[in-house]
Amino acid sequence: MKIAIIYNQDSQAVINLFGIPNLEKYGFQTIEMITRALEAGGHQVRAFEGDKNIIYALEEFMPTVISGERAGLVFNLSYGIQGRDRYTHIPAILEMLGIPYVGSSPATHAIALDKELTKMVLLQQGMPTPKFVILETPDFSITQKNNMKFPLIVKPKGGAVSFGLKIINSDRELREGVAAIYTEFKTSTLVEEYIEGREVNVGLLGNDPVEALPPVEIIFKEGEHIYTYEDKINVSGRTLERICPARLAPELTEKIQTLAIGAFRALRCFDSARVDFRIDARGNPYILEVNSMASLRPNGSYVHAAQTMGFDYTALVNRFIDITSRRYFGQSIPESSLSWLENDPTTTAFNELTRNRDEIEEDLKEWTNLPSWTSDPVGLGAFAKRLEQRLTGMGLKPVSEFSSRRSTWTWQTEAGFAGGTLLVASIDVPREGASVYPIPFKRDPEWLYGEGIASSRAGITCMLQALNRLQSVDQLKDSKLGVFVCADEGRGMRYSSKYLKKAASLAARVIVMQPGFRSGVIVDQRRGSRKFRIQVEGKIQRIGSQRSPVDLMSWFLNNADRIASLSCPEERMTVAVQEVHSERYSVLLPHRIRATVYVTFFDPGLADQAEARLRELFAPGREDLDGITAYIECLEQRPPLNRSEEIEQVIEQLRKISEKWDLPFGVESSLLPSAAGEVPAGVPVICGFGPASHGMFTPDECIHRGELLQRALLLTLYLMEVRQL
Angle at 307 (CA atoms; ends 306, 312), nearest 5 degrees: 105
Q: At 597, which CATH number?
A: 3.30.70.360
Phi, psi of 462 (to 5 degrees): -60, -40
Final residue before a domain boundary, out of 616, 638, 660: 638
Q: Higher model confidence: residue 430 or residue 678?
A: 678
Q: How confident is the model at residue 337 (pLDDT cuts 50, 70, 90)?
A: very low
Residue 234 has pLDDT above 70, yes or no: no
Euclidean distance between CA atoms 87 and 177, whole angstroms: 25
Q: At 11, which CATH number?
A: 3.40.50.20
How confident is the prediction for the chain on average, in pLDDT?
89
Q: How confident is the model at residue 162 (pLDDT cuts 50, 70, 90)?
A: low
Quick one: pLDDT at residue 164?
A: 67
Residue 444 belongs to some domain of the structure: no
Q: Please check whether residues 554 and 623 belong to one and the same domain.
A: yes
Number of domains in the chain: 4
Question: Which residues, 6 or more positions from 707, have their beta carbon under 8 angstroms from its beta carbon?
Answer: 516, 518, 520, 691, 692
Q: At 120, which CATH number?
A: 3.30.470.20
What is the CB neighbour count within 10 angstroms for residue 584?
A: 15
Euclidean distance between CA atoms 177 and 166, whole angstroms: 8
- Using omega within 30 degrees of 0 as the cis cutoff, is the peptide bond preceding 245 cis? yes
**386 in Cβ contact with 370 (< 8 Å):** yes
**Residue-wise pLDDT tens digits, 490-500:** 999 999 999 99
Residue 299 belongs to some domain of the structure: yes
Residue 213 has pLDDT above 50, yes or no: yes
Beta bridge partners of 583: 592
CA gyration radius, the chain: 36
Q: At 396, which CATH number?
A: 3.40.630.10
Q: Please check whether residues 520 and 575 belong to one and the same domain.
A: no
Final residue before a domain boundary, out of 251, 284, 311: 311
**Residue-wise pLDDT tens digits, 77-101:** 999 888 778 899 999 999 999 899 9
State pTM to two decimals: 0.74
Q: Please check whether residues 576 and 494 belong to one and the same domain.
A: no
> Among the listed ranges 233-237, 367-371, 459-463, which one has the minimum average pLDDT value?
233-237
Q: Please check whether residues 174 and 222 belong to one and the same domain.
A: yes
Quick one: pLDDT at residue 341?
A: 42
Question: Which residues, 6 or more positions from 246, have their beta carbon under 8 angstroms from its beta carbon?
Answer: 198, 200, 214, 215, 216, 217, 253
Euclidean distance between CA atoms 62 and 75, whole angstroms: 13
Q: Please check whether residues 679 and 714 belong to one and the same domain.
A: yes
Residue 618 belongs to some domain of the structure: yes
Q: Please check whether residues 155 and 289 belong to one and the same domain.
A: yes
Amino acid at 500: L
Residue 338 has pLDDT above 50, yes or no: no
Q: What percent of the chain has pLDDT over 90?
A: 63
Q: What is residue 329's three-state secondary structure?
A: helix
Final residue before a domain boundary, out of 80, 102, 124: 102
Q: Please check whether residues 495 and 612 belong to one and the same domain.
A: no
Q: How confident is the model at residue 251 (pLDDT cuts 50, 70, 90)?
A: very high
Region of 682 please: left (phi>0), alpha (psi -120 to 50) or beta. left
Phi, psi of 164 (to 5 degrees): 75, 5
Buried-state track 448-482, b at ≥16 Cβ within 10 A, e below 16: bbbbbbbbbbbbbbbbbbbbbbbbebebbeebbbb
Q: How confident is the model at residue 384 (pLDDT cuts 50, 70, 90)?
A: very high
Domain of residue 468: give its range: 353-426+450-527+641-722
End-to-end CA distance of the chain: 34
Q: Please check whether residues 669 and 589 belong to one and the same domain.
A: no
**Which among 281, 263, 273 is positioned nearest to 127, based on CA atoms?**
263
**Residue-wise pLDDT tens digits, 546-555:** 665 578 888 8
Residue 490 belongs to some domain of the structure: yes
Q: Please check whether residues 504 and 411 belong to one and the same domain.
A: yes
Residue 340 belongs to some domain of the structure: no
Quick one: pLDDT at residue 356?
A: 81
Buried-state track 534-560, b at ≥16 Cβ within 10 A, e below 16: bbbbbeebeeeeeebeebbbebbeebb
Euclidean distance between CA atoms 15 and 640, whole angstroms: 55
Q: Please check whether residues 478 and 372 belong to one and the same domain.
A: yes
Quick one: pLDDT at residue 539?
A: 84
